A and B are shown apart, each in its own frame.
Chain A
Amino acid sequence: MNQIALLGALESGLVFGLVAFGVFISFRILQFPDLTVDGSFPLGAAVSATLIVGGHDPWLATGIAALAGGAAGLVTAWLNVRLKILHLLASILTMIALYSVNLRIMGKPNVALLGEETLLTPFESGSLPYYVTTPMVFAVIVLLILVALVAFLYSETGLAMRATGANPRMARSHGIHTGRMVLLGMALSNALVAIAGALFAQSQGSADVTMGVGVIVIGLASVIGGEAVMSTRTMLLSIIACLVGAILYRLAIATALNLDLLGMKAQDLNLVTAVLVTAAIVFPGMKRSLKGVFARGDSP
């Protein structure tokens, strides 16, 4: 693997690290299997790309993308908490609806960002090539988000959110409004995923309505992979593991594609991911990984 491919894998690993943070919040903390992600990732891309093409500041565009993602998460949580729709189904409904919403936002199936002022543009004028500066910029953004997220999870509110997922009855008896915690957590989760979508669109140079397909599986693979390779004894370690898992996942994919392993091609990516995630769920050595995620039918 050459240096460009390696840095490219690192770059998308950082982006999908944000997806993994989001998936960790929904699947692990809230025990809420959330497929909204497949819609909120392209939503973040669509919102930011449309705003950037419209001449708006790329940081503002990314911020608004995060708000849009948060709103998508709120819709899913609301369907579940207020209308009592099964969490998995609620998230599928939002995901399907977002496909139309994303087409409406962009007005067409994709928006090109070539030659537009993205948040990466100011760093491109220096002596370093784009494939070095992009992962550096993303690393700074992702690490800042990681620090803020960990601080949140150790806060009183963050602790209340963790208790909501782990033992909703006990949480309520200690005065925690569990419904509100699910709303907040799902908004936070999908806001992170939308930021990932916005960053991805800006680094790839376009937003596409189909770019969300399978994002949830990549997010899950990252969370599980991270848990398999390192200790997740504390919240800090768990969040770091998500990022490590995402980067390792992208590196593994890049390696497999580069080595022409077993004659695999790019189109086999989703199949390989599905097989790997299944193996991780079933393989007893990784039993901690997905156990409990699908075991519980009801949400808090």
Chain B
Amino acid sequence: MISLRNIVVTFGLGTPLETQALRSVDLDIEKGEFVTVIGSNGAGKSTLLNVLSGEVLADSGHLQIDNEELTRRPTHARANLVARVFQDPLAGTCEQLTIEENLALASARGRRRSLRRALNPQLRERFREQLERLGLGLEDRLGDRMGLLSGGQRQAVSLLMASLQPARILLLDEHTAALDPKTAAFVLQLSNEIIHEHHLTTLMVTHSMRQALDVGTRTVMMHQGRIIFDVAGKERRGLDVPDLLALFEKRQGETLSDDSLLLSG
């Protein structure tokens, strides 16, 4: 189980640009849950994700995964617990390395790296099988540089890389936002398959309310660094986008601004 307690993150402390990205966030995620996170720009979605991955360390509060204290642990030292797919398809893979080298990097996530050869015939066979299921023909291009692939292809490979090694939580950071609608649907479908197959506990940040309700088992909405509501189960199944907006208004006690309306897109 993942537990966040009183997580506070402030950027630019003591400067005129001081902003509270997260103001006392509490969140518990059960094993096997698939949480979708929505919220307007600056709501703190990405910061929440970065706190989980370790790219941002909380100023106060506690983060635990299965009772292991992770609050101050840097990204690389918690990679055995956390897998991540970035928003930018270029960010999740190394374009200078070949497809098989990228996969080899990912297959060593969270364990000590030796001086043995990074690639061997067994690994190549495993990668070929994994790539085959994508149906993109990449299984015959193991030696090609990652830079030759399209954004969608790279994002599909990123997903594969995230699932090569076990993780306690998979973080998806608007990972379909930079793709065209058709490719986005394909990558989302693939994410669903992989999550179900490996029974992954998942946290997905998205800009789209539609997507937030269509996938996953639980939806969390953030506003100005706080979680303003959190729905799961039956209550969530009955929700539609207008209900979400109404819920938002009720909890906030304010009328939606133009900025918030962007969310429904």
| Interface positions of B from 86 to 126, Cβ below 8 Å from A | 86, 91-97, 101, 104-106, 108-111, 113-119
Contacting residues, chain B, for A152 (C-beta < 8 A): 115
Return 26 A-B CB contacts under 8 Å, by A number.
A151-B117, A154-B119, A155-B113, A155-B115, A157-B115, A159-B105, A159-B113, A162-B94, A162-B97, A163-B94, A166-B96, A170-B86, A170-B94, A171-B94, A172-B54, A172-B74, A172-B75, A172-B76, A174-B79, A174-B106, A174-B108, A175-B76, A175-B108, A175-B109, A176-B76, A176-B105
B113 and A160 contact, CB distance less than 8 A: yes
B84 in contact (CB, < 8 A):
yes
B71 in contact (CB, < 8 A):
no
- With A154-B117, A175-B80 as given contacts, are A162 and B108 in contact (CB-CB < 8 Å)? no
The chain B residue sitting closest to A173, CB to CB, is B84
Give me the interface of B with A, judged by CB distance under 8 Å. 53-55, 74-77, 79-80, 82-84, 86, 91-97, 101, 104-106, 108-111, 113-119, 161
| Residue in A155, A167, A177 with the greatest tally of chain B CB atoms within 10 Å | A167
* Contact of A167 (CB < 8 Å), options: B76, B94, B117: B94
Contacting residues, chain B, for A157 (C-beta < 8 A): 113-115
The chain B residue sitting closest to A29, CB to CB, is B96
B91 and A169 contact, CB distance less than 8 A: yes
Contacting residues, chain B, for A170 (C-beta < 8 A): 86, 91-94
B115 and A178 contact, CB distance less than 8 A: no
Contacting residues, chain B, for A178 (C-beta < 8 A): 76
A154 to B110, CA, bound (A): 19
A1 to B204, CA, bound (A): 68
Contacting residues, chain A, for B82 (C-beta < 8 A): 173
A268 in contact (CB, < 8 A):
no
Chain B binding surface SS class:
loop
Additional A-B contacts beyond A172-B76, A177-B77 (14; CB < 8 A): A156-B104, A156-B108, A156-B117, A160-B105, A160-B113, A166-B97, A167-B94, A171-B76, A171-B94, A172-B79, A173-B82, A174-B161, A175-B76, A177-B76
| Residue in B55, B95, B106, B113 with the greatest tally of chain A CB atoms within 10 Å | B113
- With A172-B79, A174-B106, A178-B76 as given contacts, are A159 and B53 in contact (CB-CB < 8 Å)? no
* Contact of A156 (CB < 8 Å), options: B86, B93, B118, B161: B118
- With A156-B108, A174-B108 as given contacts, are A166 and B114 in contact (CB-CB < 8 Å)? no
Contacting residues, chain B, for A154 (C-beta < 8 A): 117-119
Task: Encode contact with B along A164-192: 1 for CB under 8 Å, 0 otherwise.
Answer: 00110111111111100000000000000
- Min Cβ gap B129→A in Å is 21
How many A residues touch the partner, as a band?
A: 20 to 34
A205 in contact (CB, < 8 A):
no
User: Nearest 6 CB-CB pairs, A to B?
Assistant: A175-B79, A156-B113, A172-B75, A159-B118, A174-B109, A166-B94
A157 to B55, CA, bound (A): 22
* Contact of A169 (CB < 8 Å), options: B55, B80, B115, B117: B55
A8 in contact (CB, < 8 A):
no
- Min Cβ gap A258→B in Å is 39
A49 to B92, CA, bound (A): 48
- Min Cβ gap A151→B in Å is 8
Contacting residues, chain B, for A63 (C-beta < 8 A): none
| Residue in B76, B77, B82, B114 with the greatest tally of chain A CB atoms within 10 Å | B76
Contacting residues, chain A, for B91 (C-beta < 8 A): 167, 169-170
The chain A residue sitting closest to B161, CB to CB, is A174
- Min Cβ gap B49→A in Å is 11
* Contact of B93 (CB < 8 Å), options: A160, A167, A176, A177: A167
The chain A residue sitting closest to B82, CB to CB, is A173
A158 to B116, CA, bound (A): 10
A162 to B101, CA, bound (A): 10
A156 and B97 contact, CB distance less than 8 A: no
B105 and A173 contact, CB distance less than 8 A: no
Contacting residues, chain B, for A175 (C-beta < 8 A): 76-77, 79-80, 108-111
| Residue in A169, A175, A177 with the greatest tally of chain B CB atoms within 10 Å | A175
* Contact of A166 (CB < 8 Å), options: B79, B95, B115: B95
Contacting residues, chain B, for A158 (C-beta < 8 A): 118
